[in-house]
């Protein structure tokens, strides 16, 4: 059995019943095969065995009280995966589907994504199986305080810097920061995605969606075209989806469909973003309410069918494995030429294969959605300097980071013999920096 395969078998055995983690590892390993052929010293140093084993995994009880005085217990997670190139960095996800396998897949992806940004950030992820849906502000606050009541022991501006992800936005980061500050009596950049009044960065809210579209523009440039005049479908209607819509529209695209976990809306005139923002960011309601406000729009129950809406550009921005082989086939048949993953691992491995085989420009999540964490890195830099940069300056930096990520992935794909395959390119480019750092730092 070859080295890559034998380590993967070990990963499956040691991490049984964690299919999302296996999926993320398998994809990276497949891309890295040629790297290990070229660098036998990596095998000797046990790089793969080390990189799939988190440096530290923290699991904790989160007891909190609802508005009626009833006590609930959730489970909290923080996985500090790899610190070879910087302090641990990665978001927190609050969603009932969260378990150790989800946090592990996300933490593993984060190692390579953070490396691709070119900034000094290691990989981590955390979260809880807490469901924020239908909870009052007071309940959200008490949960966030309880969660931080344990997490604060393990994080720090120079050790581990969490941020948002699904179910964790500005409101939750604010409550967690307040509790962290109270417990430690410190004030620094220990969390990113903070409010602008207390150390947050301009553009962080928009960053993942904007970055995903900047990445798409680079892929379209390679096809001698641009976003101008393109029909776009975006799954999800959360933070990433909303700002992907905003940037795609600014660049001349028309977004005709968006979704939430219940279903999707279609508006042939282009989805009105102000209505979506009001519904999702302010009122925290369901996307189906959109059709009551725009007469030409239609709502369809079931979110997976969104990929049957014809488009040239598809941006999956909701969750893992939301776009399968069948949906990929329909997208291709309908003339889709570019797919960029705003979400983490939204396309199944079979869907990815089909896109690559049919020469659809495909931007994998760890490259295409790296704008969020990159801007978190910019927030950390501003916090350390005790300075705030302007929107324009920060957006310019984000744009140049996304252009560079596309370039490094494209060049690595060419260097290792699979031109145009940005999955291989992103995995290899992200891995190489971490591998060099691990080699230089010895067996630790």
Q: Which of 117, 231, 344, 347 binds ligand 2IT (CB under 6 A)?
A: 344
Active site (annotated) includes residue 230? no
Does 91 help bind ligand 2IT (rule: CB under 6 A)?
A: yes
Closest CA to 245 of 260, 255, 256, 230: 255
CB of 211 to ligand NDP, least distance (A): 9
**Contact partner at residue 430 from ligand NDP, ligand 2IT, none, CB < 5 to 8 Å by partner kind:** none
Q: x/- contact string, 128-167, with ligand 2IT (CB under 6 A)?
A: -----------------------------------x-x--
- The answer to the question of residue 259 lying near ligand 2IT (CB under 6 A) is no
Strands 231-235, 313-316: pairing is parallel
Site for ligand 2IT in 224-253 (CB under 6 A): none
The span from the CA of 216 to the CA of 364, in Å, is 11
Nearest to 219 by CA among 420, 379, 21: 420
How crowded is residue 154: how many other Cβ atoms within 10 Å of its Cβ? 17
Closest to 321 in 3D by CA, of 10, 9, 2, 27: 27
Residue 230 binds which entry of ligand 2IT, ligand NDP, none, CB below 5-8 Å type-dependent: none
- The CA distance from 366 to 264, in Å, is 25
Q: Among 12-20, 38-46, 83-91, 247-255, which window interacts with ligand 2IT (CB under 6 A)?
A: 83-91
**By C-beta, is 116 or 423 nearer to ligand 2IT?**
116
Tell the smallest beta-carbon distance from residue 443 to ligand NDP (Å).
Answer: 32
Asked whether position 372 contacts ligand 2IT by CB under 6 A, the answer is yes
Strands 88-94, 122-128: pairing is parallel
Between CA 174 and CA 13 the distance in angstroms is 39
State the residues that interact with ligand NDP by CB under 6 A. Answer: 95, 97, 164-167, 169, 208, 236-241, 260-262, 303, 317-319, 322, 342-344, 369, 372
Note whether 376 binds ligand 2IT by CB under 6 A: yes
d(CA 106, CA 108): 5
Backbone phi and psi for residue 103, each to the nearest 5 degrees, phi listed first: -65, -35
Smallest distance from the beta carbon of 376 to ligand NDP, in angstroms?
8
Residue 377's binding partner among ligand 2IT, ligand NDP, none (Cβ under 5 to 8 angstroms by kind) is none
Pick the closest to residue 122 from 376, 442, 394 (CA basis): 376
Smallest distance from ligand NDP to CB 411, Å: 23
**Cα–Cα nearest to 82, from 49, 60, 109, 55:** 55
**Integer Cα distance of 369 and 282 in angstroms:** 24
Site string for ligand 2IT, 191-210 (x = CB under 6 A): -x------------------
The one segment of 7-15, 264-272, 318-326, 369-377 that binds ligand 2IT by CB under 6 A: 369-377
> Closest CB to ligand 2IT belongs to which residue?
91
Site for ligand 2IT in 378-437 (CB under 6 A): none
| Residue 192 interacting partner from ligand NDP, ligand 2IT, none (CB closer than 5 to 8 Å by kind) | ligand 2IT
Q: Considering CB distances under 5 to 8 angstroms, the limit depending on partner class, which of ligand NDP, ligand 2IT, none binds residue 89?
A: ligand 2IT
Tell me which of 125, 135, 194, 230 is the catalytic residue: 125
User: Residue 171 burial by CB count (10 A; 0-12/13-18/19+): exposed, middle or buried?
Assistant: middle
Contact call for residue 90 and ligand 2IT (CB under 6 A)? yes
**Coil, strand, or helix at residue 411?**
helix
Across-strand partners of 72?
Answer: 64
Give yes or no for residue 254 binding ligand 2IT (CB under 6 A).
no
- H-assigned helices in 185-324: 204-222, 239-250, 273-277
Residue 72's H or E segment, with its range, is strand 71-82
Residues lying near ligand 2IT in the complex (CB under 6 A) are found at 89-91, 113, 163, 165, 192, 344, 372-373, 376
Q: Give the residue numbers annotated as catalytic, written as ranges.
A: 125
């Amino acid at each position: 059995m070859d080295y890559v395969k034998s380590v993967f078998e070990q990963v499956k055995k040691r991490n049984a019943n964690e299919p999302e983690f296996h999926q993320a590892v398998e994809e990276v390993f497949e891309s890295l095969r040629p790297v290990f052929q070229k660098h036998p010293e990596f095998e000797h140093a046990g790089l793969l065995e080390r990189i799939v084993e988190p440096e530290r995994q923290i699991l904790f009880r989160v007891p909190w009280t609802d508005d009626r005085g009833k006590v609930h217990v959730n489970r909290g997670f923080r996985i500090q995966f790899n610190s070879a190139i910087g302090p641990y960095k990665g978001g927190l996800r609050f969603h009932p589907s969260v378990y150790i396998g989800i946090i592990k897949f996300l933490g593993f992806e984060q190692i390579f994504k953070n490396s691709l940004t070119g900034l000094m950030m290691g990989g981590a992820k955390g979260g809880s199986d807490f469901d924020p849906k239908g909870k009052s502000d007071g309940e959200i606050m008490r949960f966030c305080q309880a969660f931080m009541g344990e997490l604060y022991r393990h994080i720090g501006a120079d050790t581990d810097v969490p941020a948002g992800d699904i179910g964790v936005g500005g409101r939750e980061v604010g409550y967690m920061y307040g509790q962290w500050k109270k417990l430690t009596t410190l004030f620094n950049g220990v969390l990113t995605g903070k409010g602008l009044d207390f150390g947050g960065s301009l553009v962080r809210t928009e960053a993942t969606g904007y970055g995903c579209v900047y990445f798409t523009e680079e892929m379209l440039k390679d096809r001698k075209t641009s976003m101008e005049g393109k029909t776009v479908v975006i799954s999800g209607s959360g933070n990433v989806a909303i700002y992907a819509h905003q940037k795609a529209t600014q660049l001349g695209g028309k977004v005709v469909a968006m979704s939430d976990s219940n279903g999707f809306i279609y508006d042939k005139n282009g989805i009105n973003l102000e209505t979506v923002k009001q519904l999702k960011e302010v009122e925290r309601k369901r996307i189906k309410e959109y059709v009551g406000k725009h007469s030409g729009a239609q709502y369809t129950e079931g979110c997976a069918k969104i990929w049957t809406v014809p488009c040239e550009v598809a941006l999956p921005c909701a969750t893992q494995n939301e776009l399968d082989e069948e949906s990929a086939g329909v997208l291709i048949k309908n003339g889709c030429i570019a797919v960029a993953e705003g979400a983490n691992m939204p396309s199944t491995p079979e869907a990815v294969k089909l896109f690559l085989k049919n020469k659809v420009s495909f931007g994998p999540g760890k490259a295409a959605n790296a704008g969020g964490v990159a801007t978190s890195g910019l927030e950390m830099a501003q916090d350390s300097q005790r300075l705030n940069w302007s929107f324009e300056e920060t957006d310019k930096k984000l744009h140049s980071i996304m252009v560079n990520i596309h370039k490094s992935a494209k060049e690595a794909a060419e260097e290792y013999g699979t031109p145009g395959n940005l999955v291989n390119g992103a995995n290899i480019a992200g891995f190489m920096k971490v591998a060099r750092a691990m080699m230089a730092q010895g067996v630790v």
